[in-house]
Structure 1
Amino acid sequence: MFGPKVKIEPGLYESLKKASQAVGCSSVDEFIINILEKAAAETEQVESEEEVRKRLQGLGYID
């Protein structure tokens, strides 16, 4: 895979390697990608909840 690369400290990489093996990922890359995808999805959900809250406030349903 060619593209963006992220530098990770050796100690953190070893921790990620152990965690990826514990959950059954085929590689550390797969494990990290899964974590980042979940974090991005959670961020999008929080933003969506905030937008809904603002709309409901604008309509007078909540204070």
Structure 2
Amino acid sequence: MSDKKVSIPESLYEKVKERCEGAGFESVSEYVTFVLREVVEEEEEEEKEFSKEDEEKVKERLRALGYMS
């Protein structure tokens, strides 16, 4: 896998740099990679959750089967 570069504003870089030093990361890049992975994983988990429509369909089916009243 080849590394790609992303540009961020210098002010944001400085804030991230402060955070990564206090969090035990060796570089801003390492910290940003960690944070982005966490965000992407969280988004993917949210996509797997039921929508309100899906939840209502399940409830309707359970009512039809007599499991809910």
Interval of TM-score (by shorter of Structure 1 and Structure 2): 0.7 to 0.9
Q: CA deviation at 1:2?
A: 4.5
Q: Say what the alpha-carbon RMSD is for the aligned residues.
A: 2.0
State the structure with more CA Rg: 2
The sequence identity of aligned pairs, in percent, is 29
Where do residues 25-40 of structure 1 align in structure 2 (5 Å cutoff)? 25-40=25-40
For 1:7, give the aligned amino acid: S
Residue equivalent to 1:45: 45
Q: CA deviation at 1:57?
A: 3.3
Q: Note if 1:57 corresponds to 2:59.
A: no
Q: Note if 1:4 corresponds to 2:1.
A: no
TM-score (norm 1): 0.77
Structure 1, unaligned runs of 5 or more: none
Q: Secondary structure of 1:47's match?
A: helix
Q: CA deviation at 1:4?
A: 2.3
Distance 1:44 1:2 in 2: 23
The structure where helix makes up a greater share of residues is 1
Q: Secondary structure of 1:50's match?
A: coil
TM-score (norm 2): 0.71
Q: Secondary structure of 1:18's match?
A: helix
Where do residues 3-22 of structure 1 align in structure 2 (5 Å cutoff)? 3-22=3-22
Name the count of aligned residue pairs. Answer: 59
